[in-house]
Chains A and B, each alone.
Chain A
Amino acid sequence: MNQNEFVLLITPFKDKVFRLAKRLLVSTEEAEDATQEVLVKLWSKNGNLTGYNSIEAFAMTMTKNYCLDQLKSKRTGNLKIVHTNYEDKEPGLEKKMEDLDSLNWVEKIMDQLPVQQRLIIQMRDIEQYEFEEIAEILDMKESAIRVALSRARKTVRDYMTETHKYGIS
C-alpha cells in the first residue's frame, strides 16, 4: 500500500478521529497530536490493515485507547487544561458569545459527563454511528450502550432545563 492509497483510505474517518479525540481531550492541540499519533500508528501497521474488517472501527478504538491513556497520564501529572480552554475565549467576544451561549452550555455540560458516556454520545449523536458499530469500537454490549446513552442524554437534558429555567427567572 503506498502513501496515496493510505490517505484515500483514512480520509473518510480522519475527521471523526479528530472530533472524538477533541471530545475526550478537550484541547484542540492535544486532539491534533492524538489524531496524528493514531494515523501514524495505522500507517506503520500498513500491511496488516486488510486483516481488520472495519478499519474505521479499528481506528476509532485506537483513538479511544490512546486518549484514555493520555487522560490517565495527565491526571497523574496533575495537569488541568480542561477549564482554561474556555475562559480564554470569553472576554472580548461577548456579543457573539450570547448567540453561541446556549450551544457552549451544551459543550460544557457534555464535558462534565463521565468519559464513557462522552464517548458514546459523541459517536451516536454527533458522528451518528449505528449501535452495532459503537459496540464493536468500544467492545461493549449494545444494551449497555443504550443504557449509557440514555443516561448521558438525560443528564444533558437535566442540566439544560436547569439553565433554561434559570434563564427565565
Chain B
Amino acid sequence: MESVKIENLLEKYFQGETSIAEENELRNYFSSLNVAQHLEQYKPLFGYFSLAKEPQFKHEIPLQSKKRTVAWLSIAASVVVLLGIGTYAYYNLDVANKSQDLGTYDDPEKAFRATQKALSLLSDNVNVGIESVLYIQEYQIAKEKVFIETKKNSGGS
C-alpha cells in the first residue's frame, strides 16, 4: 500500500514535479528501515542528499579587507602630517609677530623717558670716543709749541 504511494511519488520526482514536502516524504521513507525490496536501489540516492547537506564552512572570514586598512592608514598619516605642518606654521608665525615688536610706547611720557635714556646712552658712548681723541689734541699742542720754537730759533740765527 505504502510502496504504491511511494512509487507514484518517485514517478513525479523524476519528472521534476514534486514539492519540497513530497520530497521530504520520500527522504523519510528511504531513510527508514522498511524500504520495499524493489525500491532498495534508490536508498543511496536519498541517503546521499541528506549526507551532502552536512559539510559546513568553518573558516574565519577575513572581513577587514586589506584595501580598506591601507586607505585608513593613509588618511591617518595625512592628518598627522597636516597637524605637524599646522603647528609648525602656527608657532613660527607667532615668533615672527614677536620679532616685529619694535618697542613702541603708547604713553607719551614713557616714550619721552625712553628716548632720553637712549639719547643719553648714545651721547655717553660718543663722549668716550671724544675723551680718547682729546689726548691727540695734547700732542698737537705740544708739537706746535716745539715747532714754533724751532722756527723762531732758526729764524733768529
If A149-B16, A160-B41 touch, whether A125 touches B49 (CB-CB below 8 Å) is: yes
Beta-carbon contact of A7 and B56 below 8 Å: no
Beta-carbon contact of A130 and B20 below 8 Å: yes
Beta-carbon contact of A126 and B61 below 8 Å: no
User: Which one of B42, B53, B57, B65 lies within 8 Å of A17 (CB-CB)?
Assistant: B57
Which A residues touch B84, using CB under 8 A?
none
If A156-B45, A157-B14, A164-B41 touch, whether A107 touches B52 (CB-CB below 8 Å) is: yes
| Interchain residue pairs with CB less than 8 A apart (25) | A14-B57, A15-B55, A15-B56, A17-B57, A18-B56, A32-B57, A36-B59, A36-B62, A40-B61, A40-B62, A40-B65, A44-B68, A103-B44, A106-B47, A107-B48, A126-B52, A146-B15, A146-B17, A149-B16, A150-B15, A153-B13, A157-B42, A160-B42, A160-B44, A164-B41
Q: Any chain B CB within 8 A of the CB of A19?
A: yes
Interface residues of A in 1-56 (CB under 8 A from B): 3, 6-7, 10, 14-15, 17-19, 22-23, 28, 32, 35-36, 39-40, 43-44
User: Which one of A15, A28, A39, A122 lies within 8 Å of B61 (CB-CB)?
Assistant: A39
Bound CA span A164–B17, Å: 25
Q: Any chain A CB within 8 A of the CB of B122?
A: no
Q: Any chain B CB within 8 A of the CB of A147?
A: yes
Chain A residue total in the interface (Cβ 8 A): 43
Bound CA span A43–B66, Å: 13
Bound CA span A157–B17, Å: 16
B23-63, CB under 8 A of A: which get 1 and which 0? Answer: 11000000000000000011111011101110111010111
Shortest beta-carbon distance from B17 to chain A in Å: 7
If A35-B59, A39-B61, A125-B49 touch, whether A102 touches B16 (CB-CB below 8 Å) is: no
Beta-carbon contact of A22 and B53 below 8 Å: no
Interfacial residues, chain A to chain B (CB-CB below 8 A): 3, 6-7, 10, 14-15, 17-19, 22-23, 28, 32, 35-36, 39-40, 43-44, 102-103, 105-107, 122, 125-128, 130, 145-150, 153-154, 156-157, 160-161, 164
Which B residues touch A10, using CB under 8 A?
61
Bound CA span A164–B47, Å: 15
- Total residue contacts A-B, CB cutoff 8 A: 87
If A6-B63, A43-B65 touch, whether A126 touches B49 (CB-CB below 8 Å) is: yes
Beta-carbon contact of A40 and B42 below 8 Å: no
Shortest beta-carbon distance from A131 to chain B in Å: 9
Beta-carbon contact of A105 and B44 below 8 Å: yes
Beta-carbon contact of B14 and A15 below 8 Å: no
Which B residues touch A32, using CB under 8 A?
57, 59
Beta-carbon contact of A153 and B62 below 8 Å: no
Beta-carbon contact of B53 and A153 below 8 Å: no
Which B residues touch A36, using CB under 8 A?
59, 61-62
